[in-house]
Structure 1
Amino acid sequence: MKIDFKIYLGLCLIIGACAENVNPATEVKQCSGSKPFPLEVRVHGCVTPPCLVVKGTTQKFEIDFAVDKYITKLTTLVKATTLGIITVPYELPPEVAAVCPNLMYGAYCPLYPTEDVTYLFTFPIGEYPEIGVKIEIYLADQDGETATCFVCDIKVVKNSGGTKVYELNYLN
């Protein structure tokens, strides 16, 4: 069977474009204790931590996890550790901390045991000093139990001002 070169090339370009839009998994660590570990975490723009996050913006995390019980509510909680010794809770606005409205691919609460879901966490990066931070992100259910938890190293960097786009107008 002969394959037309143009069709073959077109398919390769389509597959390549689709694969390019997929965020690869980020290397994250387990939380202390026996807290459930996510199936996979994808920090947009980062595969190997420390992940560079720009202060004054938001960083997107896609968190794939499985639940082992009936869950009606999930809340995102974050702890930040700097200098290896100072750990503080990172307060999130209620609409950011709410997991159920931010489940992806048609998933919604309540969640049932053995269900796998993906959560899009849009993490607001405040105007903080440009330092390395270890963040622990965990999702707590309606009973205060941890549904999943992971640790990721980030480095807060300043905004470089973005990219300027210049338009040339040859008509004038």
Structure 2
Amino acid sequence: MKVNILICLGLCLIAMIQAENANPATDVKQCSGSKPFPLEVRVHGCVTPPCNIVKGSTQDFEIDFAVDKYITQLTALVKATTLGIITVPYDLPPEVSAVCPNLMYGAYCPLYPTEDVTYLFSFPIGDYPEIGVKIEIYLVDQDGDTATCFVCDIKVVKNTGGTKVYELNYLN
């Protein structure tokens, strides 16, 4: 009886820790047209856009999406819009734009219809001016079809240095 109670308490503790460490969903918008919308997007550290993104860093996005056809290859593409009028493609390094090697939880390509997967998109933020940007992130398959697409407002911010940790060395 005591063993069962201890096991139950242990499982509850593990569930609480996992829930505490989980990233909540971010409120992203649909792309124009009838492009498929993700099941959920989690921008680490941001629930309600605009998301503050530190320039010179990498921002992680977890993108949950379902596919509706057989997919052998997926590529992440980004468009950035500033001042509400200037839209440009945002070049990504090949290791970031390749979706299949960055699928999470043991998923891999090829993907089959009705399969839902999570892509870890590690978005490199260059040393850009501190401005608001609307980014459109879409995943395109081997045929040029959009597998999923969403829009997220971000604000590029300066690195404030974060918390400093001081170490005392009493041996000297």
TM-score in terms of structure 1 length = 0.92
Superposed, 1:78-117 pairs within 5 Å as 78-117=78-117
Query: What is the aligned residue count?
Result: 172
Gaps of 5+ in 1: none
Q: Which residue of 2 aligns with 1:28?
A: 28
AA aligned opposite 1:60: D
Greater displacement, 113-122 / 16-25: 16-25
**Residue 16 (structure 1) shift:** 2.9
Superposed, 1:36-55 pairs within 5 Å as 36-55=36-55
Superposed, 1:132-151 pairs within 5 Å as 132-151=132-151
Taking structure 1 as reference, are residues 167 and 33 closer, same or farther at Cα in structure 2, changes over 3 Å only? Answer: same
**Residue 94 (structure 1) shift:** 1.1
**Residue 12 (structure 1) shift:** 5.6
AA aligned opposite 1:86: I
Greater displacement, 161-170 / 99-108: 161-170
**Residue 18 (structure 1) shift:** 1.8
Taking structure 1 as reference, are residues 10 and 117 closer, same or farther at Cα in structure 2, changes over 3 Å only? Answer: closer
AA aligned opposite 1:80: A
Taking structure 1 as reference, are residues 169 and 96 closer, same or farther at Cα in structure 2, changes over 3 Å only? Answer: same
**Secondary structure at the residue paired with 1:129?**
coil
**Residue 168 (structure 1) shift:** 2.7
Q: Give, in whole Å, the separation in 2 of the partners of 1:111 and 1:8.
A: 37
Q: RMSD of the TM alignment (CA)? A: 2.2
TM-score in terms of structure 2 length = 0.92
**Residue 140 (structure 1) shift:** 0.4
Q: Which residue of 2 aligns with 1:77?
A: 77
* Identity percentage of aligned residues: 87
Superposed, 1:1-16 pairs within 5 Å as 13-16=13-16
**Secondary structure at the residue paired with 1:56?**
coil
**Residue 120 (structure 1) shift:** 0.2
Q: Give, in whole Å, the separation in 2 of the partners of 1:77 and 1:90.
A: 8
**Residue 93 (structure 1) shift:** 1.1
**Secondary structure at the residue paired with 1:30?**
coil
**Residue 116 (structure 1) shift:** 0.3
Q: Which residue of 2 aligns with 1:164?
A: 164
Is residue 130 of structure 2 the alignment partner of residue 127 of structure 1? Answer: no
Q: Give, in whole Å, the separation in 2 of the partners of 1:114 and 1:6.
A: 39
